[in-house]
Chain A
Amino acid sequence: MSSTAPSTSATAPETGTARVKRGMAEQLKGGVIMDVVNAEQAKIAEDAGAVAVMALERVPADIRKDGGVARMSDPNMIEEIIEAVSIPVMAKSRIGHFVEAQVLQSLGVDYIDESEVLTPADEVNHSDKWAFTTPFVCGATNLGEALRRIAEGAAMIRSKGEAGTGNVVEAVRHLRQIKNEIAKLRGFDNNELYAAAKELRAPYELVKEVAELGKLPVVLFSAGGVATPADAALMRQLGAEGVFVGSGIFKSGDPAKRAAAIVKATTFYDDPKIIADASRNLGEAMVGINCDTLPEAERYANRGW
């Protein structure tokens, strides 16, 4: 053996580990991640106290309005946003479009959202997220879906809600669903966990881990429909560790003010006085859509499996 090669065993720095990926999401907890479509909005979000921004070409409300195929954003636009702010920048790839994800990783985004808000590129497979250094966040409507995404390498989960509606009802439904299913697992004995895994269509090891921890092994945020400070606080009280706000900010009358108000209400989610103060004189909220009247085909939450 040559004696010139330095030992690389214990001290060699290692990037892209599960702990580094999941740990990044831990740092975002208690915060608000805001959708932005250009550098100017990104700066408004950062000024308002966003913990990260999500760079995308159109906010979900506009994707709904415009129709057509929604894809990864222009790399120029993502780079401009990375340049404009010092907080973490996330960006969306289509479900199963691992080449969009490769591009996003090469641009140096801090997190990739494999998102149902964009038009899925694969109706069977999600991307293999273990293959990336950049961590992934994925949406889920229930515990089984969350665990399948974690099995594929997702380092953070957001309950899906229904993006671009400004209606919190689906966000509540999905977060409650995930929390209820976790609570149910807590009550199971070891014999029952095998059948539970089968029913959840999720790996047994992950199901067992959730049963033991009483929570997901990764951070859980809420998304899809938060439009007001009280909405954000509601999701926090229901157990979300932070919130994504998409169209709710930049489709409202006074985005800077509303963004700052949602940040305050997310931190003091259990203090109605502070939420009340944050809710004063915010101007018009986004108009919103009644989810009952939304045709099945237009429900983004149904995308992904």
Chain B
Amino acid sequence: MSTADTSGTPVIGVLALQGDVREHLIALAAADALARPVRRPEELDGLDGLVIPGGESTVMSKLAVLFGMLEPLRERVRAGLPVYGTCAGMIMLADKLLDGREDQETLGGIDMIVRRNAFGRQNESFEAAVEMAGVEGGPVEGVFIRAPWVESVGAAAEVLATHDGHTVAVRQGNVLATSFHPELTGDHRVHALFVDMARQHALAAV
């Protein structure tokens, strides 16, 4: 199935329906994963982890429904596949969404309520240093673009980072989400954290 059991290099897919797929592929490769884009249900086979990139969450959701990806993705999340979502990806991983479109589907995976575009429109998009639990070596550069924030989390979810009083990074089990975009910074520590989650998961499954 996966190659992680033999080489220790986890295979991580990047959901490539729309968004900054390329930047995640580069960041994952830099963090010692074997990364590949994923658009079809059968391409989910053999993955040790999955990244849901930044992009426009309404479009990603619509395309996931249209091309039969929604249920297969939900199944993988339920089965414990490590998944990391940035920005739109965080929205996709929210059990509950505010300010989305009425017909907008999410995969769920983290018991949290996420508010879409909570930090405002593009003129309010910003960069700020963010201290993130589990990431050593000082704050990460947080790039927030029409970014969501987390309004509240359930008991099983762990808040990893806040900005200005708002939760911007969360982990629940094997599912990780950030409001911001480490893939745009060249600092691959958050991706390294996720690759490690995928590696542990793959080894445990052997």
Measured CB to CB, the residues of A under 8 A from B are 10-17, 19-20, 23-24, 26-31, 46, 49-52, 86-88, 105, 108-111, 133-135, 263-264, 267-268
Contact pick for A26, options B54, B58, B63, CB 8 Å? B54
CB of B122 within 8 Å of the partner chain: yes
Contact pick for A87, options B16, B56, B123, CB 8 Å? B56
B165 vs chain A, min Cβ distance (A): 13
Closest 3 CB pairs of A and B: A110-B122, A13-B128, A13-B126
CA distance A88 to B120 in the complex (A): 11
A110 touches B22 (CB 8 A): no
B101 touches A86 (CB 8 A): yes
- 14 chain-A/chain-B pairs, Cβ below 8 angstroms: A13-B127, A19-B127, A23-B145, A24-B146, A26-B20, A27-B54, A27-B55, A27-B88, A30-B21, A88-B122, A109-B122, A135-B122, A263-B63, A264-B66
B59 touches A51 (CB 8 A): yes
A14 touches B126 (CB 8 A): yes
CA distance A268 to B58 in the complex (A): 17
B58 touches A31 (CB 8 A): no
B56 touches A27 (CB 8 A): yes
Chain A: CB-nearest residue to B141: A19
Q: How large is the interface on B (under 10, 10 to 19, 20 to 34, 35 or more residues)?
A: 35 or more
CA distance A88 to B117 in the complex (A): 10
Using Cβ atoms and an 8 Å threshold, which residues of chain B touch A31?
Answer: 18, 55-56, 59
Contact pick for B122, options A12, A49, A134, CB 8 Å? A134
A103 vs chain B, min Cβ distance (A): 13
Chain B: CB-nearest residue to A11: B129
Chain B: CB-nearest residue to A17: B127
CB of B181 within 8 Å of the partner chain: yes
Given A49-B59, A86-B117, A264-B66, decide whether A30 and B19 contact each other with a Cβ distance below 8 A: yes
Chain A: CB-nearest residue to B120: A108
A133 touches B127 (CB 8 A): no
Contact pick for B56, options A14, A28, A109, A135, CB 8 Å? A28
CA distance A13 to B119 in the complex (A): 12
Using Cβ atoms and an 8 Å threshold, which residues of chain B touch A13?
Answer: 126-128, 144, 163-164
B56 touches A20 (CB 8 A): no
Using Cβ atoms and an 8 Å threshold, which residues of chain B touch A134?
Answer: 122-123
CA distance A186 to B20 in the complex (A): 24
Chain B, range 1-55, C-beta contacts under 8 Å to A? 16-23, 39, 54-55
B121 touches A49 (CB 8 A): no
B20 touches A27 (CB 8 A): yes
Given A51-B55, A87-B58, A263-B59, decide whether A30 and B16 contact each other with a Cβ distance below 8 A: yes
Q: Report the number of A-B residue pairs with Cβ-Cβ less than 8 Å.
A: 124
CA distance A88 to B39 in the complex (A): 24
Measured CB to CB, the residues of B under 8 A from A are 16-23, 39, 54-56, 58-59, 62-63, 66-67, 87-88, 99-101, 116-117, 121-129, 139, 143-146, 163-164, 181, 184-185
Using Cβ atoms and an 8 Å threshold, which residues of chain A touch B181?
Answer: 23
B58 touches A30 (CB 8 A): no
Given A29-B55, A110-B146, decide whether A15 and B17 contact each other with a Cβ distance below 8 A: no
Using Cβ atoms and an 8 Å threshold, which residues of chain A touch B101?
Answer: 46, 86
Chain A: CB-nearest residue to B142: A13
Given A19-B184, A30-B16, decide whether A108 and B121 contact each other with a Cβ distance below 8 A: yes
Chain A: CB-nearest residue to B100: A86
Chain B: CB-nearest residue to A264: B66
Using Cβ atoms and an 8 Å threshold, which residues of chain A touch B23?
Answer: 26
Given A27-B87, A86-B58, decide whether A111 and B122 contact each other with a Cβ distance below 8 A: yes
CA distance A14 to B142 in the complex (A): 10
Using Cβ atoms and an 8 Å threshold, which residues of chain A touch B99?
Answer: 86
A229 vs chain B, min Cβ distance (A): 14
A86 touches B126 (CB 8 A): no
CA distance A24 to B100 in the complex (A): 19
B173 vs chain A, min Cβ distance (A): 27
B186 vs chain A, min Cβ distance (A): 10
Using Cβ atoms and an 8 Å threshold, which residues of chain A touch B62?
Answer: 49, 263
Using Cβ atoms and an 8 Å threshold, which residues of chain B touch A15?
Answer: 123-126
Chain A: CB-nearest residue to B125: A20
CA distance A263 to B63 in the complex (A): 9
